[in-house]
Structure 1
Amino acid sequence: MAVRQTPSGQEWRRRTPRAALVMWLGWLAATALTVWCWYVMTETTIWAFVYDAPRQAADIGSRMVPPRLAYLPELWRPLWDTINIATLGTAAGVVIATPIAFLAARNTTPSPLLLRPIALFIIVASRSINSLIWALLLVSIVGPGLLAGVIAIALRSIGFVGKLLYEAIEETDAAQIEAIDATGASAPQLLAFGIWPQVAPAFWAIAVFRWDINIRESTVLGLVGAGGIGLQLQNSLNTLAWPQVTVILLLILATVLVSEWISAKVRAAII
């Protein structure tokens, strides 16, 4: 504990004895919790496998090289399906999320006590479940295929788009809306000329950003039967076709990089 003499001759302490005791007890509790969590996580770990992991990784890596480029033509259709899953799912999610966002925003909801809590619940419920879990549920309901992937992406997108959009709506300039309202404008006119021009840039930026995220998420939906290039990846992993896995991973990486570039360009043009 830092102790210094003040000009008046009194001792200055950085912390009082009580504060120092509380701090050290907090550190002790955090250390104990960390040790306990580590014990729980590693209780069933087979350490022989962990020690052997570098050798296994090197062995699989050697099997993945060189990539089987002849397999590339078979991936164009699944890749196109993946892009369609992301695009259609994003479009559906944005369409559904937009009215929900207006119901959730404090300055546009027609019913703060009823409709706003319902809208907020939908947003939270959508964001709480990962798209892979949505796909797993939907494959059991509607069967395997692209439809399950599109719906899964849409359901996941509702919460993301709805939350960011309703926050943008709440941040609109009230003075501009009041000025239009003073002219005798109706509610649709207030929405069209007072609110929408202020949130339109954020709306398009959010939509493009979500599409970029969905491109990445849709690449793995095939692992649970929702179609796309993830299905080819699952098949290659099941058959231990490591050179094909390399080609698929490189193609996914290239697709994500292109989608990131497109998203950045569009957002820069909008904002």
Structure 2
Amino acid sequence: MPITKTSDSAVWRKRTTLQQWALWGGWFLLVVFFIFCWQVMTKDTIWYFVADAPTQAADLGGRMFPPRWSYIDVLWAPLWDTLNIATLGTLLGIAIAIPVAFLAARNTTPSVLFVRPIALFIIVSSRSINSLIWALLLVAIIGPGILAGIVAIGLRSIGFVAKLLYEAIEEIDETQVEAISATGASAAQVVDYAIVPQVLPAFFGISVFRWDINIRESTILGLVGAGGIGLQLQASLNVLAWPQVTMIFIVILGTVVLSEWVSAKVRHAII
């Protein structure tokens, strides 16, 4: 029953027949839609494998433990490559994202009709393609190695950083811009003294947050040949060396937890 609020109290009113049928019709359509989606998702499912999944998972878990702790000596160099991919890729993305963000923001773009749509298209294109797909394409273009991973992370980071940064630019206090402009300052001076100081904390927070995300994404780029610890993961999976896989998972988990802690500390110090 819908509730009608008055100045003193809520009044309960019974739904009309039409409202009641509309409510039940909505629920019926929702159930039909759910059944349709379930059939689409499971039409190729082999339910025997699903029923056998707990047994297979237990068998695989037994093979993965205990971890091969001696294998950690092999992982230091690939882990260092992974950190370099994430860090250099983040810096590359930031370097490109800064001008794109200023071109996309309504209050700093030189043209709302022409330049801004191009900048927004760059942002959307970067955010639409996953870093793993970027890496797959770049490995085919420039060959395997950490360079492909760095460029893939950079291309993926452009959209994320530029989107959040241009939104921060559009939300600045315009009175500061007007005050600096009133002194006869040039457009570059207005940006330098009125806009940049306001968005600088947000910029640092966005950059550190993106670096934290890139640490996680760069750990799997080696699966397509883009270097890093993912290469060792792929090699171990190929030979079914499950104790080594467990060790790699532990190292990746430790790295992600550490990067998350560093990111949180830096963002707290800045913001």
Q: Same fold (TM over 0.5)?
A: yes
What amino acid is the match of 1:37?
Answer: C
* Deviates most, 86-95 or 17-26: 17-26
User: 2:110 aligns to what?
Assistant: 110
What is aligned with 1:56? 56
Larger deviation, residues 162-171 vs 22-31: 22-31
Alignment of 1:207-222 (within 5 A): 207-222=207-222
Counterpart residue identity of residue 212, structure 1? D
Match of 2:189 in 1: 189
Q: Which residue of 2 aligns with 1:231?
A: 231
CA distance in 1, matches of 2:79, 2:2: 63
Question: Counterpart in 2 of 1:141?
Answer: 141
Distance 1:102 1:267 in 2: 23
Q: Counterpart of 1:226 in 2: which secondary structure? A: coil
Indicate how the Cα distance of structure 1 residues 22 and 176 shifts in structure 2: closer, same or farther if over 3 A, else same: same
Equivalent residue for 1:6? none
Taking the TM superposition and a 5 Å limit, the aligned residue runs for 1:86-97 are: 86-97=86-97
- In the TM superposition, 1:115-194 aligns within 5 A as 115-194=115-194
Q: Compute the RMSD of aligned alpha carbons.
A: 1.4
User: Deviation per CA, 1:196-254, whole angstroms, max 9, x where unpaired?
Assistant: 00000000100000000000000001111111001100111111000000100000000
State the partner residue of 2:78: 78
Partner of 1:40: 40
Check 1:21–1:95 CA distance in 2 against 1; reply closer, same or farther (3 A cut).
Answer: same
Cα distance in structure 2, aligned partners of 1:228 and 1:69:
19
- Give the count of matched residue pairs: 264
Residue 137 of structure 1 and its aligned partner are, at CA, apart by 1.0
What is the CA–CA distance in structure 2 between the aligned matches of 1:118 and 1:257, rounded to whole Å? 37
Name 1:264's counterpart in structure 2. Answer: 264
So what's the TM-score if we normalise by structure 1? 0.95
Compared with structure 1, are the counterparts of its residues 24 and 95 closer, same or farther at alpha carbon in structure 2 (3 Å cutoff)?
same
Q: What is the aligned partner in structure 1 of residue 21 from structure 2?
A: 21
Cα distance change on mapping 1:182 and 1:15 into 2, 3 Å: farther
Distance 2:19 2:214 in 1: 48
Shift of 1:14: 4.4
Distance between the aligned counterparts of 2:73 and 2:217, measured in 1? 22
Amino acid at match of 2:192: A
Instruction: Report the equivalent of 2:8.
Output: none
Corresponding position: 1:206 with 2:206: yes
- Matched letter for residue 184 of structure 1: G
Aligned mates of 1:229, 1:123 — CA distance in 2: 29
- How far, CA to CA, are the matches of 2:246 and 2:240 in structure 1? 11
What one-letter code is carried by the residue in structure 2 that aligns with 1:138?
L
Q: Deviations over 1:184-206 (max 9, x none)?
A: 11111101100000000000100
Q: Which runs of 5+ in 2 are unaligned?
A: 4-10
Amino acid at match of 2:199: V
Q: Percent identity?
A: 69
Change (3 A) 1:2 1:118: closer
Worse-superposed segment, 164-173 or 12-21: 12-21
